[in-house]
Amino acid sequence: MKRIYSIKTMQKTARRLKASEKKIGFVPTMGYLHDGHLGLVRYSLQHCSVTVVSIFVNPAQFAPNEDLKNYPRDMKRDLKLLRELGVDYVFTPEPDSMYTKSFKTYVSVEKITGSAEGKSRPTHFRGVTTIVAKLLNIVQPDVIFLGQKDIQQAIILRKMTDELNFPVKVSIRPTAREKDGLAMSSRNVYLNKGERETALSLYSALTTAKIEIKSGLKDVSKIKNRMKKSFEKFPGAELEYIYFADSSDFSPVKRVIPDMVIALAAKVGRTRLIDNIIISPRSK
């Protein structure tokens, strides 16, 4: 496995790989890797001839009051995990090289960035689309692998790559969960023992929704109410939003439709968690 720090070296390497017709799979991450990330990496290794993973805690997607400084980091462990899997390249740029002092260019997707996560974190998605646009220009992958865990982000990035004609395929992979259903997340490390139990509030509410929909409930506001009731069973959890959307474009829906996303966010102690499920036509 080769570690690359420099943007120029990464671009040169990508050009060389492309010239020899290698199919480049790319998994962008902020590090502190868990099985959710590693599942994306394994999938890329299986389906592409070369796999590039980036590790970069992107300052542009954190608001000043958020956890940029404390975001968990363990580069040594991450590199070991990736080496063991057989990753070809790890791109680990320095923040100063990605965002020079005079940096002025941002990429924004409109409208769908204003709901759900975008409402809670108004500057977040501009940071995400900007960094991913930069990474796509640097790594030049054929396929980018993203997690359903951040479904709104994945839908936004699919829109950005479509509309800006990035020559890349976006592949969205299912959420990896702990045995009890908690979605894996680098931020789970913040949770103490009691909070870890309370964190199940998110998956429980989503399971409640799934059951209600299976039993025929179609009215989104009614399903939301049942989910809120489920939340009340976890006193330490503070629900931020529940959002029902069409998975093709993240537009809000009022009644159950096929391929509908149910996304939610909650605070457990000081940790902000998100999760979602996609209701497929078959499970209706």
Residues with catalytic function = 37
Number of residues that bind ligand AMP (CB under 6 A): 17
The answer to whether 175 contacts ligand AMP (rule: CB under 6 A) is yes
Task: Classify the phi-psi angles of 116: left when phi > 0, otherwise alpha if psi is within -120 to 50, otherwise beta.
Answer: left
Which of 37, 42, 224, 272 forms a contact with ligand AMP (CB under 6 A)? 37
* Separation CA 241–CA 104 (nearest Å): 32
Instruction: Draw the binding track, 239-258, toward ligand AMP (x: CB under 6 A; -: no contact).
Output: --------------------
Q: How far is the CB of 40 from ligand AMP (least distance, A)?
A: 6
Q: How far is the CB of 197 from ligand AMP (least distance, A)?
A: 18
The answer to whether 93 contacts ligand AMP (rule: CB under 6 A) is no
Paired sense of beta strands 89-91 and 143-147, if any: unpaired
What is the b/e burial string over 128-152, where b = at least 16 CB atoms within 10 angstroms of the residue's CB?
bbbbbbbbbebbbbbbbbbbbbbbb
- Report which of 272, 277, 201, 212 is spatially closest to residue 243, judged by C-alpha positions: 277
Which of 44, 51, 130, 185 forms a contact with ligand AMP (CB under 6 A)? 185
Q: How far is the CB of 228 from ligand AMP (least distance, A)?
A: 24
Q: Find the part of the chain contacting ligand AMP (CB under 6 A) among 181-189, 210-218, 234-242, 248-256.
A: 181-189
Structure tokens at 283: 């499970």
Residue whose CB is less far from ligand AMP, 124 or 149:
149
67 contacts 216 by C-beta, under 8 angstroms = no
Residue ranges in 50-102 assigned as alpha helix (H):
75-85, 95-98
Residue whose CB is less far from ligand AMP, 31 or 242:
31
Which of 149, 159, 224, 272 forms a contact with ligand AMP (CB under 6 A)? 149
Which of 93, 118, 127, 147 forms a contact with ligand AMP (CB under 6 A)? 147
What CA–CA distances, in Å, run from 74 to 9, 78, 79, 117, 226? 23, 6, 9, 26, 40
The answer to whether 150 contacts ligand AMP (rule: CB under 6 A) is yes
Structure tokens at 16: 């060389």
Sheet (strand 2-4) strand order: 2-4, 89-91, 50-55, 24-29, 143-147, 169-173
The answer to whether 4 contacts ligand AMP (rule: CB under 6 A) is no
Q: Which residues bind ligand AMP (CB under 6 A)?
A: 29-30, 36-37, 39-40, 146-147, 149-150, 173, 175-176, 183-186
